[in-house]
């Protein structure tokens, strides 16, 4: 019995104490007296049993409760296809936790009426009406540009999108739409052409007046080349007759160029007084005679009278009162230069928009001066075809480049929600340590949609939180108020 107790005690104690604390007595039977059954040996066993009893009480107080032990995890498993964790306790109880990784949006579509559809990895779809977030931009026709708007259900990239086409209205381009340098050159050419046309008209009238006379010029009927030619022919005939008569009467030689002889005054330009004095008659507005150059408009060079005045100082009657008003019913005179300047100014200010006149003036610019190619040549004038292509190039440069939705990975890049110059597109964000000025709701591992209008100073930012399914946050403002604009939240409904 004592040996059985000792064995049981050793088994218990070995579990409590890692080091041996009891040394065996190794009892011997009689006749040996080495292990006498006395107080010494029995008390040694008694003390050890007491220590074991205390140890058992201590062990029982500190042992692991079986209910607690059964709730401890026996194993953990993860299904990568479904995104589920399975936890199994010691008593066999299992728990599943679904991380919903398959619920992360992997694609977005936006309908014409503003319905945003998000499709997750498992094919589940979430919809949200964001029409109020997207401004409907209206393209108004101007006097020169016409717009056509068309929604294409599926474009070249397999997406639905609006297509806005701009075209220049026929006959709507005038000088105000041209480059200042081109407009200045064309205006200069036009004025030069107008001046040349007016000068040509004036010179043609003057030529007619001096050649055969013109009823518009008072006194020109008897003050022109034709008249003087006829007078000269009549004088020649009279002189020849006088010569013949003188020769017949006196036998004298009739004077001729380089020949001395007898001459007879025609009594028109040369008179003979009763005392035989010969004198030249002074020319008047109605009769021929000798005139003296005034030295201002007419001069004499080597015996030949020539006009020495230019057009700026020649006087002309202003019948249309363009420079000076009439005095009563009498038109006043002004200088030719002032009248030309006034006519040119009125044409530039009042007739430049007249299409018929513009067409006529444009004919003075020769086709050789026109160019369909942009060249650095001050002697070239752009054609309407070149102006149209230049305008189309400007429209193309300013067109909306945000029709294609681009994706940007900002997983390890700082994203500042107060920054307004991000390009339009989808931004995949990482943890919150890579975010600045984010809204109060957590946007870790979220998707941010940036919408911009390149023609106006407006934009919108839409966030799809990873941990809040069916929730959308958004902000919209112009660049001036972007950093202080409020954020708003939309709670979607699961479908």
pLDDT score, position 318 = 76
Beta-carbon count within 10 A of 457 CB? 13
pLDDT score, position 433 = 92
pLDDT score, position 334 = 81
pLDDT digits (tens, 9 = 90+) for 449-479: 998 876 667 789 998 887 666 678 889 998 8
pLDDT score, position 2 = 44
Q: How far apart are CA 309 and CA 287, in angstroms?
A: 24
Q: How far apart are CA 85 and CA 82, in angstroms?
A: 9
Q: Could you give the 3-state DSSP secondary structure of residue 84? A: strand
pLDDT score, position 427 = 93
Q: Which two tokens stand for residue 160?
A: 């639905």
Q: Which two tokens stand for residue 234?
A: 């009549």
Q: How far apart are CA 193 and CA 182, in angstroms?
A: 16
Tell the residue number behind the tokens 């007739």, with chain if given: 351
Q: How far is CA 398 from CA 148, 210, 401, 454, in A?
A: 17, 63, 8, 8
- Say what the pTM is: 0.24
pLDDT score, position 403 = 45
> Crossing angle, helix 180-211 and helix 336-350, to 10 degrees?
140
pLDDT digits (tens, 9 = 90+) for 249-305: 655 566 777 666 667 777 777 777 777 777 777 777 667 666 666 666 566 666 565
Q: How far apart are CA 443 and CA 464, in angstroms?
A: 7
pLDDT digits (tens, 9 = 90+) for 186-243: 778 888 888 888 887 787 878 887 888 888 888 888 888 888 888 888 888 887 787 7
Dihedral sign computed on CA atoms, order 360, 364, 368, 369: negative
pLDDT score, position 379 = 66
Q: How far is CA 278 from CA 287, 298, 466, 479, in A?
A: 18, 26, 126, 101
Specify whether the CB–CB gap between 21 and 64 falls below 8 A.
no
Positions of the chain with pLDDT under 50: 1-2, 4-5, 361, 364-365, 397-398, 400-404
């Amino acid at each position: 019995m004592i040996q059985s107790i000792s064995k049981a005690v050793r088994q218990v104690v070995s579990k409590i104490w890692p080091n041996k604390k009891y040394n065996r007595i190794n009892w011997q039977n009689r006749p040996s007296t080495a292990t006498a059954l006395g107080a010494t040996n029995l008390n040694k066993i008694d003390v050890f049993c007491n220590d074991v009893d205390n140890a058992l009480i201590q062990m029982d107080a500190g042992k692991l409760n079986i209910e607690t032990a059964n709730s401890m995890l026996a194993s953990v498993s993860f299904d990568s296809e479904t995104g589920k964790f399975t936890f199994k306790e010691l008593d066999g109880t299992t728990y599943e936790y679904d991380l919903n990784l398959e619920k992360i949006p992997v694609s977005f579509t936006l309908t014409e009426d503003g319905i945003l559809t998000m499709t997750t990895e498992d094919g589940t779809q979430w919809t949200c009406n964001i029409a109020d977030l997207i401004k409907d931009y209206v393209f108004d026709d101007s006097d020169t540009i016409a717009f056509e708007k068309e929604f294409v259900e599926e474009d070249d990239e397999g997406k639905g999108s609006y297509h806005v086409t701009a075209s220049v209205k026929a006959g709507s381009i005038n000088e105000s739409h041209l480059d200042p340098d081109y407009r200045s050159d064309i205006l200069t050419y036009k004025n030069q052409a107008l001046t040349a046309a007016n000068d040509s008209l004036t010179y043609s009238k003057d030529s007619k007046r001096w050649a055969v006379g013109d009823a518009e010029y008072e006194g020109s009927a008897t003050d022109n080349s034709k008249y003087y030619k006829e007078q000269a022919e009549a004088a020649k005939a009279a002189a020849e007759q006088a010569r013949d008569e003188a020769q017949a009467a006196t036998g004298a030689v009739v004077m001729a160029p380089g020949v001395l002889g007898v001459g007879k005054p025609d009594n028109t330009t040369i008179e003979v007084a009763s005392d035989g004095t010969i004198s030249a008659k002074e020319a008047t507005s109605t009769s021929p005679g000798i005139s003296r150059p005034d030295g201002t408009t007419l001069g004499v060079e080597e015996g030949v009278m020539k006009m020495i005045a230019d057009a700026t100082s020649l006087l002309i009657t202003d019948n249309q009162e363009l420079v000076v008003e009439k005095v009563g019913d009498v038109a006043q005179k002004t200088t030719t230069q002032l009248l030309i300047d006034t006519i040119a100014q009125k044409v530039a200010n009042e007739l430049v928009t007249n299409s018929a006149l513009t067409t006529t003036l444009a004919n003075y610019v020769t086709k050789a001066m026109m160019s369909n190619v942009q060249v650095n040549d001050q002697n070239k004038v752009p054609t309407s075809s070149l102006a149209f292509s230049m305008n189309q190039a400007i429209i193309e440069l300013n067109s909306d480049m945000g029709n294609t939705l681009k994706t940007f990975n900002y997983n390890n890049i700082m994203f500042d929600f107060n920054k307004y110059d991000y390009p339009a597109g989808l931004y995949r964000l990482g943890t919150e340590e890579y975010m600045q000025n984010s809204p109060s709701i957590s946007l870790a591992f979220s998707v941010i949609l940036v919408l911009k209008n390149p023609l106006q100073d407006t934009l919108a930012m839409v966030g799809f939180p990873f941990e809040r399914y069916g929730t959308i946050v958004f902000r919209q403002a112009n660049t001036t108020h972007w950093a202080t604009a409020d954020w708003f939240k939309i709670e979607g409904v699961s479908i």
